[in-house]
Structure formats: C-alpha cells, structure tokens
C-alpha cells in the first residue's frame, strides 16, 4: 500500500480556462488587456496571491490597485468551476489506485475553499482521504511542510507525490519523497530539467508506474 499525494491544477485537472476567465474579468473591470492562455499557464503554481501579483506585473497595474484586484479575484475563485475538466483517464486511475488499497490525498497551492469547490463540482471529493490547500498551513509549496502534513494524515504506506510543475518537483525533493511527473501540465521547463523519479503523460499508465516506483 502507498500514500499517494497529488497536486491539483495542471495535474488532476485542467483549470487554466476558469482561472484565465476570472483573471480577465478582474482586468477588464479596470481597463487592462486580457491574459492569454500561455500567460495563464505561466502564472499558475504558487497560489492565488502570486498569480495575481504576476498578472498585475504583466499588465503594469499600479500597486495601489493590486489589493482590490486580489480581493476581487479571490471572491470569484470559489465559483470558477464551469470550464475546468479532469484530464482524460483521471477518474478511472483514481478508482484503480484505491482498489489496490492505496490511500490518496491532495497537496495544492490552490486555496482550500476553491479547491473543495472544484472537487465537489467534479464529484471527486470522495476519492481523497485528505486535502491540503495553499492556506491550510502557514506555509505553502515548495516548502515541504504541506506535503509532509498530507502524508502524515494518510497514515502509512510508501509515500509518493505526483505533480506537474517545478514547484511540485522542488517540494518532493525537499521532502525526500519520490516524485512522479505528469508531463502534460503547466510546467515551464523541459522534463529533464526537473527532479523526478518517473514520468507519465497518460493517466491510464499511472497505476503501473506507481507499482514500479514502490518496488
């Protein structure tokens, strides 16, 4: 049995369309140009506060407006669910992993309220034994404490972290936990530049890859 912890955005779900949508609603209210999908992917990974900071920097939004933009963004975030989809094969892979006796968790920099909202919307909540959001602790990834907290709450088994980004790879490295990299997510650098123990681009293959990492 393993304790398998997943990142959320860019790993289990493609949430960039919803995040871009609310970001552009915020920008449009004050007359700034919308974000492209490429920019949205580039800004995701370090939580909502950093996303909004990068968004504002990209559009030269004055510092005096940034606090209001963050509040508006966060107010919209929990309801940003309509455009988000699980990656193909995610649901079947989670069911197969649980059938093997593995315990599953989430460790994400997404704030816990929108994290729970999207999991509920996608009927995924029951697949996970613990969920750690970006504001569940006083620190967030790449600090290893949120990942370690998720592993501790899963209570036993060989621990593995699965994610898609530089932040996830660094978190696993700092926690000294094997890292499985999903290569179709929101990473900014090439695969060979990221710390990892295994890679996959199709969730159908994930249960077998987990078995190989555990061995």
Q: How far apart are the first and last CA of the chain?
A: 11
Q: Is 70 helix (H, G, I), strand (E, B) or coil?
A: helix
Q: What percentage of the chain has pLDDT greater than the value 90?
A: 97
pLDDT at 138: 97
- Confidence band of 53 (pLDDT split at 50, 70, 90): very high
Instruction: Tell me the catalytic residues.
Output: 7
Mean per-residue pLDDT, 11-19:
98
Which is nearest to 149 in space by CA: 24, 139, 44, 158? Answer: 139
- What pLDDT score was predicted for residue 156? 78
Neighbouring-strand partners of residue 47: none
pLDDT digits (tens, 9 = 90+) for 96-149: 999 999 999 999 999 999 999 999 999 999 999 999 999 999 999 999 999 999
Indicate whether 198 pLDDT > 80.
yes
List, in order of start, the domains of the chain with CATH numbers: 2-14+83-214 (3.40.50.1000), 16-77 (1.10.150.240)
Residue 27 has pLDDT above 90, yes or no: yes
Largest CA distance in the chain: 55
Structure tokens at 147: 């990942």
Band (1; pLDDT cuts 50, 70, 90): confident
Residue position matching structure tokens 């094997």: 178
Query: What is the pLDDT, as a whole number, of residue 30?
Result: 87
CA distance 128 to 63: 39
């Amino acid at each position: 049995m393993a304790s398998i912890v997943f990142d959320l955005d860019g790993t289990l779900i493609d949430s960039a369309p919803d995040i871009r949508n609310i970001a552009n609603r915020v920008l449009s209210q004050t007359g700034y140009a919308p974000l492209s999908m490429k920019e949205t992917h580039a800004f995701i990974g370090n939580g909502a506060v950093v996303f909004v900071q990068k968004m504002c920097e990209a559009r030269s939004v004055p510092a005096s407006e940034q606090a209001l933009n963050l509040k508006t963004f966060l107010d919209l975030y929990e309801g940003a669910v309509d455009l988000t989809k699980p990656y193909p094969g995610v649901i079947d892979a989670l069911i197969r992993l649980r059938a093997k006796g593995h315990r599953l968790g989430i460790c994400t920099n997404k704030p816990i309220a929108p994290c729970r909202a999207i999991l509920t919307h996608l009927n995924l909540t029951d697949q996970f034994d613990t969920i750690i959001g970006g504001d569940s602790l006083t620190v967030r990834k790449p600090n290893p404490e949120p990942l370690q907290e998720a592993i501790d709450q899963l209570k036993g088994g060989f621990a593995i972290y699965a994610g898609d980004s530089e932040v996830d790879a660094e978190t696993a490295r700092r926690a000294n936990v094997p890292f499985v990299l999903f290569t179709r997510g929101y990473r900014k650098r090439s695969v060979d530049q990221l710390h990892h123990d295994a890679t996959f681009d199709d969730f159908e293959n994930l249960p077998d890859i987990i078995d190989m990492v555990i061995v």
